[in-house]
Amino acid sequence: MIRTAAVLALLSALAACSPTPGADGGTDAGTRGIACGDVTCTAGSAVCCVRPAPEATTCEPLDGGCPLSAGNYLCDGPEDCSAGLSCCGYSGRVGTFCGGGSCFADTLCHTAADCPQSLPSCCAMGNGYRSCSASACP
């Protein structure tokens, strides 16, 4: 039952992915794609799969190539999401998804211009990604 709920949540998040480059005017030169170790996965058709043991990052197809036990990163900034959506996630290995309005967790960014006024700083999360913060970056 939990696995079914997780799959449904993932499919819902996938539906929010934008099929057009730079749909939201992201500030990373309009380039869609998910940073994934030394490569970039194609947003909208692949997920960056981060497996914890042994640690490995690979691009996997959206149709289930990455196990739910791994981190499924569907975006790394707002440019990978449809207009009006944010790239949301956690600083751990849970993954990221496109969400509406304010994220209930971290809002991923590339620069401060990607962040809402209430979270004006774009700081390193410690896993190669960056998130918006109300405080100045350390």
CA dist 48 and 60 (Å) reads: 6
Q: What is the pLDDT of residues 90-112, one digit of tens each?
A: 766 678 999 987 788 899 999 99
Q: Using CB atoms within 10 A of its CB, is residue 31 exposed (0-12), middle (13-18) or buried (19+)?
A: middle
pLDDT > 50? residue 9: no
Place of tokens 């992915």: 17
pLDDT tens per residue, range 26-38:
333 347 899 998 9
Q: Which residue has the tokens 């896993």?
A: 127
* CA–CA separation, 63 and 134 (whole Å): 36
The angle subtended at Cα 56 by Cα 53 and Cα 62, nearest 5°, is 110
Greatest alpha-carbon pair distance for the chain in Å reads: 41
| pLDDT tens per residue across span 47-73 | 999 888 778 899 999 888 888 888 899
Can you give the residue ranges of every domain in the chain?
2-105
